[in-house]
Amino acid sequence: MLQLSRNCSTKELLLLESVTWMNLQWGTVDSIHGPTKNIWRSNIAYSVNNQEVKLPVDWRIAGGSSGGSAVAVATGTCFAALGSDTGGSARNPAAHCGIVGFKPTYSTVSRHGLVPLVNSMDVPSILARTVSDATTVYGVICGRDPFDSTTVDIDITPEKPYPIDPSQIRIGIPMEYHPSGLSEEVLAAWEMVASIFEKAGSSVKKISLPHTKYSISCYSVLNQAEVASNMARYDGLKYGYRPNEGTSVESLYAEARATALGQVVKARILAGNYFLLQRNYKKYFEKALKVRRLIVNDFLEVWKSVDILITPTTLTEAPSLSEFCKLDNRQQCSSEDYCTQPCNLAGCPAISVPVRLSANGLPIGIQLIAPNYKDFFLLAVSNWLEKNVSFPKLDLIDTETIK
């Protein structure tokens, strides 16, 4: 976040607001303030294209883990918001809340000031109501930062806006992004977007990313190993909660972590340390690194024949809280992150664009992916798509107007 203030001129105003605590679950359902509600189909009054929604039903999750940022943008609380995207944490809530979620290329936005979770995958990402708004914010925050050695010293900002001619764009449809849990409505939205590009003259063809089926397992091992390392700093001495009593350093550590860390965090720390044990290092951690390289190579290979990949963002519309909480953390990850986390493993820029409403009146987002450092090209293509889908406008209304 510090990088933002350094990049903003005196003529630019930046509003940052914290709406949720550090969250490691996909639905933003374990916040210290309680679950984050999705404005769509919640018990909060709103209208779509000036048509009042009078009968809200069992409210839906906002997605996560940047659900607070997504709801803040969707409700008009702020122009745009930031969220750390490690495996889809900005794109998933954007899809569920009917807004744009953009994860830039890894190394183009500074992580200085960001609470680290998985250093090799974390990317400060942008949530906004339109692609144009996301582009504006990205233009401010991207670039080299001497406080973050992982940022690259290259200028990816175009001298002028990309002229988008759909007939010159090659679109790839990954066959592996059609898992068994993909809903019919998300599939229909995916096909609709592919058809829009095809009718505009784009070349649309099926491609293969053969190691996608291993990506969730690879992501889980690497994620938990880095979490174990990063969370070690929260010992109650220099960082994190410190209990009032402690008879020894060991008891202080134990009490601080037992009280301040949630079950999901504890589970990841334990799993990460297990993967990093000397007897397990080659079997799990090194093997996961090799699989990650294969996934990166898959993307490098497809960029030889296509310019943009189109996939679902999430497998379904936003589930209800009761439905989502029936799943354990592993199932939540497999469902919510299936289509998004490969981009974090490969470092590719990716964006979720809302394209239509489901039969239940819930947003469906579609993900567009581009080669590394083609961020502004991806944003330009996404802006063109946004204008051609005419996603319904959400307007908040005063609760007093509902009779």
Tell me the pLDDT of the chain averaged across its residues.
Answer: 86
Higher pLDDT, 132 or 328: 132
Q: Of the given ranges (35-44, 132-141, 204-213, 271-280), which has the lowest mean pLDDT? A: 35-44
The residue type at 71: V
Counting every residue, how long is the chain?
A: 403
* CA dist., res. 71 & res. 97, Å (int): 7
* CA dist., res. 186 & res. 192, Å (int): 10
Structure confidence at residue 397 (pLDDT):
57
Higher pLDDT, 77 or 299: 299
pLDDT in tens, 153-184: 888 877 667 788 999 999 999 999 999 889 99
* CA dist., res. 257 & res. 252, Å (int): 9
Q: With 0.85 as the threshold, say if the pTM is over it.
A: yes
- 10 Å CB burial of residue 217 (0-12, 13-18, 19+) is middle
Give the Cα-Cα-Cα angle 26, 30, 34 (nearest 5 degrees).
Answer: 130
Note every long-range contact of 42-45, with CB atoms under 8 Å and residues 24 or more positions apart, other chains counting.
Answer: 44/396, 44/399, 45/396, 45/397, 45/398, 45/399, 45/401, 45/402
* CA dist., res. 337 & res. 121, Å (int): 13
Residue 331: CB atoms within 10 Å:
13
Phi-psi region of 39 (alpha: psi -120 to 50; beta: other; left: phi over 0): alpha
Structure confidence at residue 33 (pLDDT):
67
The residue type at 19: V
pLDDT band for 227, please (50, 70, 90 cuts): very high
Structure confidence at residue 194 (pLDDT):
98
- Domains of the chain (ranges; CATH) run 26-165+316-322+349-403 (3.90.1300.10)
pLDDT in tens, 176-223: 999 988 999 999 999 999 999 999 999 999 999 999 999 999 999 999
Structure confidence at residue 119 (pLDDT):
93
pLDDT in tens, 20-31: 334 455 545 566
pLDDT over 80 at 32, yes or no: no
